[in-house]
Homo-oligomer: A and B are copies of this chain.
Amino acid sequence: MAEWCLEDFSVGQTFGSGRLIVDQGRIKSFAAEFDPQPYHLDEDAARVSIFGGLAASGWHTAAMTMKLLVESELRIAGGLIGARFDELRWPKPVRPGDELRVHSEVIEVRRSRSRPTQGMVKVRITTVNQDDEAVQVSVSNIVVPCRS
């Protein structure tokens, strides 16, 4: 697959991804290392929490989204480097057994004034589950080199 430069991007382009099944044990082990709160660690504690059941840490969902993105149709010369997010939210919990995939849409393309050899592509990145419900929505500004 060819790697894309700034000149290849235009507003409205969309990119799909593969799929990833969320593992119950990995929800707990990720949380134990990085987000040790009861609703990410234990079914009984999760049942009586705001989540109503075991849910992945938002950072686990963000990390799984990155994995899907890196292996997605969105291939950028020099790598996928998110300089800045304008927005990041988790509208619905991610549950054990969920099947995630990512949908990306280009919403802005601009060349850098200070660094004329690169630019910024703004992408809305939506992670959905098997029922097409959004579980993570973000707007990312990705650094992209120019071809010329």
Residues of A within 8 A of B (CB): 30, 33-39, 49-50, 57-60, 62-64, 66-67, 70-71, 78-90, 143
- Report A30 CB to chain B, min CB distance, Å: 8
* Distance in angstroms between the alpha carbons of A50 and B145 in the assembled complex: 11
What is the copy number of this chain in the assembly?
2
Query: Chain A interface secondary structure, helix, strand, loop or mixed?
Result: mixed
- Report A142 CB to chain B, min CB distance, Å: 12
Instruction: Select one of B39, B57, B83, B86 contacting A66, CB under 8 A.
Output: B57
By a CB distance below 8 angstroms, the chain B residues around A70 are 35-37
Chain B residue nearest to A81 in the complex (CB): B50
Chain B residue nearest to A35 in the complex (CB): B66
Do the beta carbons of A85 and B83 come within 8 Å of each other?
A: no
- Report A52 CB to chain B, min CB distance, Å: 13
By a CB distance below 8 angstroms, the chain B residues around A60 are 63
Do the beta carbons of A63 and B89 come within 8 Å of each other?
A: no
Instruction: Select one of B80, B83, B87 contacting A89, CB under 8 A.
Output: B83
By a CB distance below 8 angstroms, the chain B residues around A84 are 87-89
By a CB distance below 8 angstroms, the chain B residues around A82 are 58, 90
Do the beta carbons of B85 and A89 come within 8 Å of each other?
A: yes
Do the beta carbons of A79 and B36 come within 8 Å of each other?
A: no
* Distance in angstroms between the alpha carbons of A66 and B63 in the assembled complex: 13
Do the beta carbons of A88 and B89 come within 8 Å of each other?
A: no
Chain B residue nearest to A80 in the complex (CB): B37
By a CB distance below 8 angstroms, the chain B residues around A30 are 63
